Amino acid sequence: MDIIFDKNTYLEILFSEQYFIHKLQLYESYLKRQRFVHENKSLSYIDYDKLTTSAILNNFSEVVVMEVVKTVEEDAIEKYQGKNLTEKIKGYFRSFDQTLFSDEYGEFLLSNSSAKSIVHHSFNRVKGYALNAVKEVLQSGKAIFYKQNYKNNKDRMLIVAPIEICIGKKQGKYMMGVSVEVTHNNNSVELIEVVIEKGESTDSFDTIVSSPVNNDSPSILTLLQQVIDVKNGNLSLDQVTAIGIDSE
């Protein structure tokens, strides 16, 4: 005999399953943190051998062939309560305790300040959709830029991975970058940028991307475009702006 649930019972079961998955993910993150502590590593530990210029070049090549790490089919952030976009993003970050953990780069902090900074850096609809993939990009992406003393004695690291957005007119494959401020205490998310790989988008980055490249401090959009150009065969790896821990 078939078992038939009413709507309320079905929703209760569905949300219970989602709650269990959420708690399981938090526990997995906790175990990774404990492993780092057991190995006497700071949670903000970064293996700088993976951030040399040669390692950055290798990361470029890995990102070029990387599969999409997240397909965004809905704007989950809009579901969070808040009087404005910043408050909704704060709620989204709190859903994973404002921290994300990468085996390669340690723990990332997504604080209230991160939410404000992201919104204040030319935030638009496509970035809002892309923000739904911040977890996967930080956990699976690769660093293609590391600059020491970038600003106010803070280092900057750029984590990049391909994503796909399947919402309305913004559909397409994008290269997403998450900029992280690195200090001795933590790795704090600063802002995000996205560049569409091909096709059309109502958001134009041409003016910024095509501007002259500052080899000492290239823009995030320039670096993302370089990944796409290498992927499309319009640029060779020896032409990219590779800046790592040992760059002068």
Taking only the tens place, the pLDDT of each residue in 157-195 is 999 999 999 998 889 999 999 999 988 778 899 999 999
* 111 part of a folded domain: yes
Taking only the tens place, the pLDDT of each residue in 112-135 is 999 999 999 989 999 999 999 999
Q: Are residues 88 and 185 in the same domain?
A: yes
* 63 part of a folded domain: yes
Beta pairing partners, 160: 142, 177
> For residue 158, which of 173, 134, 174, 142 has the smallest C-alpha distance?
142
* 244 part of a folded domain: no
Q: Are residues 201 and 111 in the same domain?
A: yes
Q: Are residues 27 and 104 in the same domain?
A: no
Query: What sign does the dihedral 194-144-142-33 (CA atoms) show?
Result: negative
Q: Are residues 25 and 143 in the same domain?
A: no
> What would the mean pLDDT of 187-214 be, rounded to a whole number?
62
Q: Are residues 121 and 181 in the same domain?
A: yes
Q: Are residues 72 and 34 in the same domain?
A: no
* 247 part of a folded domain: no
* 55 part of a folded domain: yes
* 245 part of a folded domain: no
Neighbours of 88 (CB within 10 A): 21
Kindly list the distances between the CA atom of residue 138 and the CA atoms of 78, 132, 193, 235, in Å, as whole numbers in the listed order: 21, 12, 13, 25
Q: Check pLDDT > 70 for residue 4.
A: no
Q: Are residues 164 and 200 in the same domain?
A: yes
Beta carbons within 8 Å of 106's beta carbon, 6+ residues apart? 36, 41, 42, 43, 44, 45, 46, 187
Q: Are residues 63 and 30 in the same domain?
A: no
pTM of the model: 0.78
Q: Are residues 17 and 136 in the same domain?
A: no
More confident residue, 224 or 212: 224
Q: What is the pLDDT of residue 160?
A: 97
Domain span at 129 = 43-239
Number of folded domains in the chain? Answer: 2
Q: Are residues 13 and 88 in the same domain?
A: no
Taking only the tens place, the pLDDT of each residue in 218-232 is 899 999 999 999 999
Q: Are residues 55 and 161 in the same domain?
A: yes
Q: Are residues 144 and 84 in the same domain?
A: yes
